[in-house]
Amino acid sequence: MRVTAVQGDITRQEVDAVVNAANNGMRGGGGVDGAIHRAGGPAVLEDCIARFPRGLATGDAGWTTAGDLPARWVIHVVGPNRNAGQTDRGLLLSCYRRALTVADEIGARTVAFPLISAGVYGWPKDDAIAAPLEVFAAADTAVQEARIVAFDRATYDLVVAALPGRED
């Protein structure tokens, strides 16, 4: 699997699936979750309600339509909220593993990921970057490209610096 980094808006990525950093309720929210729901339109929320009437557990993943997004699917994951005391790194790793498993189930070969839990959930940015790279390096998946999407330049620079095979 090729791991790439881009600076930009995850809702504009032309990939098979975008990963949404959702909350347990799966009904939209702030940050990446709010942006995906706004850009995807009401179809995303309708599918969340139909497919996940009780939401998702922290560390788990599931898919819905992408509605009006350029992607075909949204893979929703629920990252740990460090600010609420959820400090188990295994839950963060599980988000990335489960997202790849779901991607394989739906046939997604290109997947755009945000840095899960790195925003309002307060996960330290250096570990929020290290976690997906650790999972991607060990993954047995048919996904051909895992794209880490950083909204701002400073985060993008940190992701690029952490990518494997980078020559200094």
Return the CATH number at 39: 3.40.220.10
Helix (H) or strand (E) holding 21: strand 17-22
Whole-structure pTM value = 0.96
Flag whether 129 is in a domain.
Answer: yes
Does the annotation count 88 as an active-site position?
no
pLDDT in tens, 8-41: 999 999 999 999 999 999 999 889 999 999 999 9
Supply the pLDDT for residue 168.
47
Flag whether 167 is in a domain.
Answer: no
Flag whether 119 is in a domain.
Answer: yes
Residue holding tokens 């990525």? 13
Give CA angle at 87 (86, 92), nearest 5°.
90
Flag whether 145 is in a domain.
Answer: yes
pLDDT in tens, 86-140: 999 999 999 999 999 999 999 999 999 999 999 999 999 999 999 999 999 999 9
Query: Residue 46 corresponds to which tokens in the numbers above?
Result: 């309708």
% of the chain with per-residue pLDDT over 70: 98
Q: What residues make up the domain containing 74?
A: 2-162
Flag whether 108 is in a domain.
Answer: yes
Flag whether 168 is in a domain.
Answer: no
Domain count, the chain: 1
pLDDT at 44 over 50: yes
| Active-site option among 33, 68, 88, 157 | 33
Flag whether 19 is in a domain.
Answer: yes
pLDDT at 46 over 90: yes
Distances (CA, A) of 53 to 24, 25, 49: 11, 8, 5
Flag whether 101 is in a domain.
Answer: yes
Pairwise CA distance, residues 132 & 116, whole Å:
9
Using pLDDT thresholds of 50, 70 and 90, give the confidence band for residue 166.
low
pLDDT at 72 over 60: yes
Q: What is the dihedral of CA 5, 157, 93, 53, to 10 degrees?
A: -70
